């Protein structure tokens, strides 16, 4: 129902967009929350300054609602000027079908290969040696957010790594708190598992399982340990009755829960609530033990357009999005990390600086969206959701099915 409404809105926006002159460019995205909209406004402002006009095509309801609408518009012969996708393989088939614009010339002219860090971001935009998208930000999943007050109430020190956190769980429960807040949506539960895998088993194992789809490694002893850890996690999360990720974050903010495993976008919620890093909450990148962070994020794709003036505007937009000043302004509002290594990020807070240090040491791994098809990711989502909601399902059984999915993954 909502998607139909969003589709109608999108088509209305389009009708309005096609009625005016050529240098107007419609940009579709699914950034609709307060902070996200403010970040997008930075792009729009900078783009308008080039003499073109940004026509905002925001689609409410998140990526899973927005992507089908974007795709049906592009495949239906009704393309927008530019559109957001997550880094990776979501738009792969659209590129293969020749519906997206080849940006290789522009990239060489502007030297994108030298400025985009980590290089894997641009690689995800590349198909058969040609570049098809502009990465705009880096988000990483591997963060554990802890409520200092909750641990104080439970009479235990704030943990510095995952093992200490697990050990502190009984004390938290005795104090009437949920040790680990996990939203019930499958993608969040899969996120928890992946964070455990990358942080506790290391980047190599992650690459073998998600990158090379090695079913033997997925069924092996290293991953078995992770399923044991996930078993701990589901016991700690058994009493968390929330659905959305920000509701779970809110449990940590209000000190009803000990902690949450969630990507760096959760930081924005703490900021809005007026909490201070280190004082009210503690952040542990890579669970305090790991060395690697996933580097996913968002990228913009440019559908192939016939109108030369609009094509020119597309180039302007691509340039604007990678501009150093725009990058900083956008990412500070978005709560993400700029994709250029050469920009000044002094405004970032302590937690973000910890993350930047990890990234600077070269410990960046590609995100799941870059390695796996959405189809396989959704299959693992379903498995993890079932594992967490079915106490009778053993870790061994879950691992066996996980290995099956990895073996047939694409």
Partner 1 sequence: MPQQRRPNQLFRNLHAKVAAIPMILTATIVFVGGTLWTVLYSFTSSGLLPRLNFVGLAQYERLWSTRRWLVSVENLAIFGVGKMVFALVIGFVLAALLDQKIRFENTFRTILLYPFALSFIVTGLVWQWILNPDFGVQSVVRGLGWESFSFDPLYNPDIVIYGILIAALWQTTGLVMCLMLAGLRGIDEDIWKAARVDGIPMWKTYLFIVIPMMRPVLITALVIIATAIVKVYDLVVAQTSGGPGIASEVPAKYVYDMMFSSQNLGQGFAASTMMLLSVLIVVIPWAYLEFGGRKRHG
Q: Of 94 and 318, which has the nearer Cβ to partner 1? A: 94
Cβ distance to partner 1 smaller for residue 23 or 385: 385
Nearer to partner 1, 172 or 237 (CB): 237
The neighbouring-strand residues paired with 223 are none
Rule CB under 8 A: say whether 390 interacts with partner 1. Answer: yes
Question: Which two tokens mark 67?
Answer: 């992507």
Least distance to partner 1 from the beta carbon of 236, Å?
Answer: 16
Q: Which stretch binds partner 1 (CB under 8 A): 10-18, 29-37, 66-74, 214-222?
A: 66-74
Virtual CA dihedral for 23, 24, 28, 30, nearest 10 degrees? 120
Residues 243-262 that bind partner 1 (CB under 8 A): 243
In angstroms, the CA 406 to CA 48 distance is 46
Give me the torsion for CA of 332, 335, 341, 345, rounded to 10°: 40
Q: Number of C-alpha atoms within 13 angstroms, CB side, residue 231? A: 15
Q: Which is nearer to partner 1, 65 or 271 (CB)?
A: 65
32 or 65: CB nearest partner 1? 65
Q: Which of residues 84-143 bind partner 1 (CB under 8 A)?
A: 90, 92-94, 97
Pairing of strands 126-127, 133-135: unpaired
3-state SS record for 79-134:
CCCEEEEECCCCCHHHHHCCCECCCHHHHHHHCHHHHECCCHHHHHCEECCEECEE
- Indicate the residue among 194 and 340 with the shorter CB distance to partner 1: 194
From candidates 10, 52, 54, 67, binder to partner 1 by CB under 8 A: 67
Chain Cα centroid distance, residue 132: 20
**Which is closer to partner 1, CB of 91 or CB of 359?**
91
Q: Considering only 112-120, 180-188, 215-223, 270-278, which stretch makes contact with partner 1 by CB under 8 A?
A: 180-188
Nearer to partner 1, 6 or 292 (CB): 6
User: Would you say 389 or 394 has its CB closer to partner 1?
Assistant: 389
| Ramachandran area for residue 60 (φ above 0: left; ψ -120 to 50: alpha; else beta) | beta
- Supply the minimum distance, in Å, between the C-beta of residue 184 and partner 1: 5
Q: Which positions from 338 to 377 touch partner 1 by CB under 8 A, shown as an x/- string?
A: -----------------------------------xxx--
Give the residue, chosen from 110, 214, 309, 386, that forms a contact with partner 1 under the rule CB under 8 A. Answer: 386
**Does 149 contact partner 1 by CB under 8 A?**
no
The residue among 62 and 170 lying less far from partner 1, judged by its C-beta, is: 62
Considering the rule CB under 8 A, would residue 184 count as an interface residue with partner 1?
yes
Give the footprint of partner 1 on residues 10-29 (CB under 8 A): none
Whole-angstrom CA distances from 125 to 11, 40, 132 are 27, 21, 5
Q: Closest by alpha carbon to 213, among 91, 368, 384, 388? A: 368
> Which stretch, 107-115, 138-146, 316-324, 387-395, contacts partner 1 (CB under 8 A)?
387-395
Scanning 136-244, the segments in alpha helix (DSSP H) are 148-154, 162-174, 186-196, 203-206, 215-218, 221-236
Written as one string, the DSSP assignment of 220-288 is SHHHHHHHHHHHHHHHHTTT----SHHHHHHHHHTTSEEEEE--TTHHHHHHHTT--BTTTEEEEEGGG
Nearest to 117 by CA among 359, 302, 335: 359
CB of 366 to partner 1, least distance (A): 19
- CA contacts within 13 A on the Cβ side of 177: 31
| 4 in contact with partner 1 (CB under 8 A) | no
Q: Is 238 in the site for partner 1 (CB under 8 A)?
A: no
Rounded Cα–Cα distance for residues 249 and 241 (Å): 12
Site for partner 1 contains 401 (CB under 8 A): yes
Name the nearest CA neighbour of 321 among 97, 67, 31, 27.
27
Per CB under 8 A, the list member of 388, 395, 399, 403 interacting with partner 1 is 388
Site residues, partner 1 (CB under 8 A): 1, 64, 67-68, 71, 75, 90, 92-94, 97, 184-186, 241, 243, 373-375, 378-379, 382-383, 385-390, 401, 408
């Amino acid at each position: 129902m909502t998607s139909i409404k969003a589709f109608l809105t999108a088509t209305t926006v389009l009708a309005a967009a096609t009625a005016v002159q050529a240098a107007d460019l419609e940009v579709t995205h699914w950034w609709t929350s307060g902070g996200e909209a403010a970040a997008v406004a930075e792009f729009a402002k900078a783009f308008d300054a080039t003499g073109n006009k940004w026509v905002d095509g925001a689609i409410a309801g998140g990526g899973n609602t927005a992507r089908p609408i974007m795709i049906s518009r592009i495949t239906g012969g009704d393309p927008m000027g530019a559109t957001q996708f997550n880094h990776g393989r979501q738009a792969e088939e659209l590129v293969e079908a020749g519906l997206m614009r080849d940006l290789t010339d522009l990239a060489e002219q502007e030297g994108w290969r030298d400025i985009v860090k980590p290089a894997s971001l641009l690689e995800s935009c590349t198909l058969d040696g040609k570049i098809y998208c502009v990465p705009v930000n880096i988000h990483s999943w591997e963060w554990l957010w802890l409520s200092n007050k909750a641990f104080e109430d439970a009479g235990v020190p704030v943990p510095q790594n995952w093992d200490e956190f697990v050990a502190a769980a009984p004390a938290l429960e005795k104090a009437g708190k949920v040790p680990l807040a996990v939203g019930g949506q499958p993608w969040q539960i899969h996120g928890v598992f992946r964070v455990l895998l990358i942080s506790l088993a290391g980047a190599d194992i992650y690459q073998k399982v998600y990158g090379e789809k090695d079913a033997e490694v997925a069924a092996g002893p290293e991953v078995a340990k992770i399923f044991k850890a996930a078993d701990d996690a589901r016991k700690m999360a058994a009493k968390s009755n929330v659905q959305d990720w920000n509701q779970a974050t809110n449990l940590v903010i209000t000190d009803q829960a000990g902690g949450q495993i969630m990507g760096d976008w959760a930081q924005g919620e703490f900021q809005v609530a007026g909490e201070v890093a280190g004082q009210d909450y503690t952040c542990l990148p890579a669970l305090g033990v790991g060395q690697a962070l996933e580097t996913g994020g968002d990228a913009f794709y440019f559908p192939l357009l016939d109108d030369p003036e609009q094509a020119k505007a597309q180039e302007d937009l691509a340039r604007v999005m990678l501009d150093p000043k725009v990058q900083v302004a956008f990412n500070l509002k978005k709560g993400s990390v700029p994709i250029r290594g050469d920009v000044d990020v002094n405004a970032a807070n302590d937690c973000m600086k910890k993350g930047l240090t990890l990234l600077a040491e070269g410990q960046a791994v590609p995100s799941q969206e870059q390695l796996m098809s959405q189809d396989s990711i959704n299959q693992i989502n379903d498995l993890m959701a079932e594992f967490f909601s079915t106490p009778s399902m053993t870790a061994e059984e879950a691992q066996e099915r996980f290995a099956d999915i990895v073996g047939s993954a694409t």
